[in-house]
A and B are shown apart, each in its own frame.
Chain A
Amino acid sequence: MKILIIEDELELLKSMEEYLSAQEYQCTKAPSFEAAMANIEECQFDCIILDIMLPDGNGLHILKHIRLYHPDEGVIIISAKNAIDDKITGLQLGADDYLAKPFHLSELSARIQSILRRRSLNQKQSIHQNDLEIDVLAKKVTIRDGELVLTKKEYELLLYMIQNKNRVISKSALAEHLSGDFADMLDNHDFVYAHIKNLKKKLNLYDYGQYLKTIYGTGYKWEL
């Protein structure tokens, strides 16, 4: 999968590239408006990460250009203008998703995968992990033909862990992901722990608990 990262902050650009490359994405970096336009003209990407605030041009122009000439490419906006109304503008202009800075790299990765899956021609819309299958449309999880009945939060947690497989996810990142846009659960890790515990208990019924690993009591990892 090919990803173009448009971001003028070089350190952030490097971080995103490093994390996503380890996820086996092929990343191209564009630190300016000009470099971004050149890359978009030259190559075909599966997903474009777009910082709309660039020193030499407005990222929203890039978005309009992509929508006009490359309608198949997924676009995720990242912006320091973290207002929710900016999000709406971005989405109205045809972005697939919007992520406010600062974000966890695991969140970015999960969002990219969701976009890629939504845009893929494969209509099955499911994720396979050995015997585990997640039907993202129906939000149903099955292991060896047996349905794993999860609460909404447990389901979100499992999906997130699998989307960031073999990566260590901090409790904070999970708390932020589960909180969503409005709630503020950051100071409260009890609920992450509670949901993880319940999820692991249910996975254990199918001998799948060993994939969900606790790392030094500070984070979790879906390890294959």
Chain B
Amino acid sequence: MKKLLDRSLNPLIIYSLVVLAGSIPAYYLIIDYTWTNELDKHHSAIKTKITNRLNGLDASQVDMAENIRMLNHLEPGFHLKRVAEAEIAPDRRYSEIRFDDFMQDREQFRGLVTFITIHGQSYRLTIETNMEEVDETIGIIAAVAIFFLVLLLGGFIYLNRRTSLKLWNPFYQTIDQLQRFQLNNQAQIDFPPTQIKEFDTLQKSLQALIDRNIKSFQLQKRFTENASHELQTPLAIIKSKLDLLLQQKELTATQAQLITSATESLNRVAKINKNLLLLAKIENHQFQNPVPVDLEEEIHAAVERFEELYEYKHPEFLLAVEPAAPLMADPTLVQILLNNLIQNACKYSPPKSVIGLQLNNNDLFIKNPGQAPLIEKELYSRFGQATRPDSGNGLGLAIAHEICRYYGWPITYAYTQGSHVFHIDFTSGDTAGLE
């Protein structure tokens, strides 16, 4: 994944590279052309000047041959040679690179070979000027181009970072807000104000989307609650009718069995309904009257309850419960939490199992033997264990988890030495659920 700002810079960088790379041969050609052209004009001017000056000398008074010898000897890049009429050819201009004795290096020369007439005699004139070599010119141009490219890109990146960061700041803040948003926290989202039209539109659209989500989430919660409420009465009617049906005098065994099966299923529905209602109430923050709860006392009461209920399975409770500081919570929720976890331990243990409960410093451990570790991911999901034939309604742990979440008590599960261990840390609870 790339960041947005880098993304917008990339094409700019590539385009600049291409343009600057293309500019190197262009610069070279232009410079080379101008220079060559200028030298050629210079050579032509020298030719005319030398012809005129030599013709201006009085041939009878000077030794022309001696003059030309002197000129050839003194003037660098200059050579005048008498030639026969037949050797005259059109002017020739050339560029060549060769080793130069004087410079002790390879040098490029621009030259002109032309023919002039002085006092009726034909001469071949060769003029050469040292110019910069092609490769060196290209090298220098490239170096300059690269220098400016680096300067340009550095500036681009710096300016882009500076202005874009400022420009996109509302966007990044919006992302940050969205990441922290949680639907079930019932907290509204607050976007930073912006003067940019597009961001404003984005924020308004998001706000509308979130508002709709919050609304539908609340509707869904309300629906669960209302549906559960509305179901109670028809369930009560069916239950009462089945009770009455069971009292009929002429009932056969088959009929009695049918009624019993129906009653059992009905009770399951009623229980699920009741638990869904409880979950909805916790999620809707309807338990808002925390009072000090004595954990030690509640644990003993719950253990006593299940000792009686599971008498036929002869569970052995191993208690290591120390007095704890009072817990600020709704006593009903604490009882439900303890009951669900202890019942869970009783229900899924083989007969005569040892069920351990340990409370010290507000750390509660509930331990029971088990064959294989449970899948933690599915542990607290609603109806997650519904595939087990003896699973009950699959909501017990979901409710326990929801209560812990509500009060901010971390609940963890571990499988150690053949035992399922649930751990609740009551100390780290915050007051989020108690507002």
Contact = CB atoms under 8 A, between A and B. Distances in A.
Contacts of B229: 80-81
A15 B347 contact: no
Interface string A73-85: 0000000111111
Given A104-B239, A153-B308, A183-B343, A22 B247 contact: yes
A223 B228 CA distance: 37
Interface in B31-52: none
A104 B239 CA distance: 6
A152 B233 CA distance: 32
A210 to B, nearest CB: 20
Of the candidates A22, A80, A217, the one having the most CB atoms from chain B within 10 angstroms of its own CB is A80
B260 interface: yes
Nearest to B288: A85
B354 interface: no
Given A82-B274, A183-B343, A217-B253, 10 more contacts: A11-B237, A15-B237, A80-B229, A82-B232, A101-B232, A168-B247, A168-B256, A172-B263, A218-B256, A218-B257
Contacts of A100: 232, 274
A85 B287 contact: yes
Nearest to B331: A84
Interface residues of A, number: 51
Contacts of B130: none
A18 B242 CA distance: 13
Interface string A139-154: 0000000000001110
B259 interface: yes
B343 A172 contact: no
B309 A176 contact: no
B54 interface: no
A12 B312 contact: no
26 contacts: A11-B241, A15-B237, A18-B244, A19-B247, A80-B233, A83-B277, A83-B278, A85-B332, A100-B274, A101-B232, A101-B233, A101-B236, A103-B236, A104-B239, A105-B239, A105-B244, A106-B243, A167-B247, A170-B259, A170-B263, A171-B264, A183-B306, A187-B391, A187-B392, A195-B311, A216-B256
A178 interface: yes
A82 to B, nearest CB: 6
Given A103-B236, A219-B246, A15 B241 contact: yes
A184 B392 contact: yes
How many of chain B's residues touch chain A, expressed as a range?
35 or more
Interface in A185-223: 185-188, 190-191, 194-195, 215-219
B129 interface: no
B277 A102 contact: no
A176 B267 contact: yes
A186 B277 CA distance: 18
Contact of B271 (A81, A84, A184, A218): A184
Contacts of B311: 151, 153, 191, 194-195
Given A82-B277, A102-B270, A153-B311, A183 B247 contact: no
A103 B259 CA distance: 16
B390 interface: yes
Interface in B165-224: none
A151 B393 CA distance: 29
Interface string B325-360: 000000010011001000100010000000000000
Nearest to A171: B260
Contact of A182 (B241, B243, B270, B335): B335
Contacts of A168: 246-247, 256
B240 interface: yes
B308 A152 contact: yes
Interface string A59-81: 00000000000000000000011
A187 B244 contact: no
B240 A12 contact: yes
B257 to A, nearest CB: 5
B332 A179 contact: no
Nearest to B260: A218
B393 A184 contact: yes
A180 interface: yes
A172 B260 contact: yes
A187 B332 CA distance: 23
Nearest to A193: B312
Contact of B235 (A102, A179, A182): A102
A182 B302 CA distance: 9
A12 B343 contact: no
